[in-house]
């Protein structure tokens, strides 16, 4: 987790308001997703005694935690993660394109990249690979 925190800090320039998944924390039977965001990327707006980052804990459930682990394992970027989430919700390419304000061809390109990255050859293969780890 420290490595991810350092990455947020080192990438803070020009990334104010940008959020990223960091890790899953387990407390008793509950799981929490940790997200980090840069509050300010301007040196004038940051008090030297304060950290310009915000860390958010969201309660999550095991299926969400498993998919988050798969995202990390396969190094999926934010856009790829968004597309996979919509695939899991059974969106068509056209619906994904409309939802993300992209063209259908862009979505097809992302799906081809995901298939190559995960070594599968179908939309169902993408989902299967990510759900099984």
Q: Per DSSP, what are the bridge partners of residue 31?
A: 26, 60
pLDDT at res. 1: 40
Kindly report, residue by residue over 64-78, the tens digit of the pLDDT. Answer: 556 777 888 889 998
How many whole angstroms separate alpha carbon 5 and alpha carbon 3? 5
* Structure tokens belonging to residue 75: 């190094």
Residue with tokens 């509950």: 30
How many whole angstroms separate alpha carbon 79 and alpha carbon 77? 6
Q: Which fold has domain 67-132?
A: Arc Repressor Mutant, subunit A (1.10.10)
pLDDT at res. 37: 75
Give pLDDT < 50 ranges for the chain.
Answer: 1-6, 8-13, 15
pLDDT at res. 64: 56
Residue with tokens 């309660």: 59
Domain boundaries, the chain: 2-60, 67-132
* Structure tokens belonging to residue 71: 């995202």
First to last CA, the chain: 20
How many whole angstroms separate alpha carbon 126 and alpha carbon 84? 8
């Amino acid at each position: 987790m420290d490595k991810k925190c350092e990455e947020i800090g080192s990438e803070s320039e020009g990334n104010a308001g940008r959020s990223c998944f960091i890790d899953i924390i387990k407390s008793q039977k509950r799981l929490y997703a940790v997200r980090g965001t840069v509050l300010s990327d301007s040196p004038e707006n940051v008090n030297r005694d304060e950290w310009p980052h915000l860390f958010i804990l969201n309660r999550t459930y095991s299926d969400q935690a498993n998919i988050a682990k798969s995202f990390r394992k396969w190094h999926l970027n934010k856009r790829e993660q968004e597309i996979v989430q919509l695939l899991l919700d059974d969106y068509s390419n056209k619906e994904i394109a409309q939802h993300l304000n992209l063209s259908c061809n862009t979505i097809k390109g992302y799906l081809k990249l995901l298939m190559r990255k995960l070594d599968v050859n179908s939309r169902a293969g993408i989902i299967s690979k990510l759900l099984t780890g």
